[in-house]
Amino acid sequence: MAATVQKKKLRYKNLGKSGLRVSNIALGTWVTFGAQITDEMAEEILTLAYESGINYFDTAEVYAAGKAETVLGKVLKKKAWRRSSYIVSTKIYWGGKAETEKGLSRKHIIEGLKASLERLQLEYVDVVFANKPDPHTPMEEIVRAFTHCINQGWAMYWGTSRWSPMEIMEAYSVARQFNLIPPIAEQAEYHLFQREKVELQMPELYHKIGIGTITWSPLACGILSGKYDDGVPIYSRAAMKGYGWLKEKILSEEGRRQQAKLREVALIADKLNCSLSQLAIAWCLKNENVQCVMLGASSVDQLYENIQALQYVPKLTPVLMGELDKILGNKPAVIRREPPQR
């Protein structure tokens, strides 16, 4: 019953100016699949997502050194859902230790994507993303390689992740110049403490060249869940091996300032009768320029709670949004360019 209710609240949007219809919430597999959770839990989480109407699952060749793709592929094969009813994306950049197993050379894009498809047990992914820019590879080579992958039927579309607006524009220009396929979307970090790129730059790129926006880390790697208010709990992500950078960020002076602001944000969550996590996710979903917000989950309960954020989006009135802006003090200023004086 809960899943049916959620389906009605999920919205579907075109990804950028492409025809691909994505649910406004996607399920990501970073940290969890193949590492933090069992394969059985991964299946339960994926099942809840799909039955709730989430049609988009994201992974990457680097997640758990390829195991995330393997687990996702196994679950999809076992569930036997119609391939045409869901979207899978993966990301290419870090594939292995050898010099030729990373970056965005034609060699690694093609070999990396083929290896991903093997692990996923799929004939194609819907979108393949460049997981970061590669300053060592000419843009024409990158765009030609992704175009080749699409022409071969290994992917339907390609996109970028963590690229600057200038790099995205260059890829688009190269595609237009050589009659190649341009990217359709950028995956960008977006949450209460990181706003400028998604709120200022991405809408401009959408209007100029049709690039869509998928956002990730709506809870800032768990910082916005409120669980780090009294330090770093032993079972949290920040305490995991390889996440020392997150622990440092939380315990830094800036991290303490953020926690103080979060205590004020929590008062607004109390007004709405929702959790701090739900408020943070609803805030991301409120942005009409974002087509899809990517969520991760380490349990079914966590995913279910986070999907419930959908019901609080309409409750974020302009007055409440203004209150949040005042607490955060980081609303990007729109620079109005005056026409030159004659």
* Residue 4: per-residue pLDDT: 44
Averaged pLDDT score across all residues of the chain: 92
Instruction: Say yes or no to pLDDT of 204 above 70.
Output: yes
Instruction: Say yes or no to pLDDT of 182 above 80.
Output: yes
Instruction: Say yes or no to pLDDT of 258 above 50.
Output: yes
* Residue 256: per-residue pLDDT: 83
Q: Within 10 A of 339 (CB to CB), how many other CB atoms are there? A: 5
Q: Which residue has the tokens 């869940």?
A: 225
What tokens appear for 292 in the block?
């899809």
Look at residues 132, 157, 126 and name the one whose alpha carbon lies nearest to residue 26: 126
Instruction: Read off the pLDDT band of 30 (50, 70, 90).
Output: very high
Over range 18-27, report the average pLDDT.
Answer: 98
Residues 6+ apart with CB under 8 A from 77: 121
Identify whether 124 is a catalytic site residue: no
pLDDT tens digits, one per residue of 205-223: 999 999 999 999 999 988 8
The active-site residue, picked from 12, 50, 56, 63, is: 63
Residues 6+ apart with CB under 8 A from 227: 233, 236
Q: Which residue has the tokens 């071969």?
A: 152
Do 128 and 153 meet the contact criterion of CB atoms below 8 Å apart? no
C-alpha to C-alpha distance for 297 and 227, rounded to whole angstroms:
15
Instruction: Read off the pLDDT band of 1 (50, 70, 90).
Output: very low
C-alpha to C-alpha distance for 161 and 282, rounded to whole angstroms:
22
What percent of the chain lies above the pLDDT cut of 70?
91
Antiparallel, parallel or unpaired: β 12-14 and 21-23: antiparallel
Instruction: Say yes or no to pLDDT of 234 above 80.
Output: no
Residues 6+ apart with CB under 8 A from 147: 158, 175, 180, 181
Is the whole-model pTM more than 0.85? yes
* Residue 231: per-residue pLDDT: 67
Fold observed for domain 2-328: TIM Barrel (3.20.20)
Look at residues 42, 19, 17 and name the one whose alpha carbon lies nearest to residue 32: 42
pLDDT tens digits, one per residue of 114-138: 999 999 999 999 999 999 999 999 9
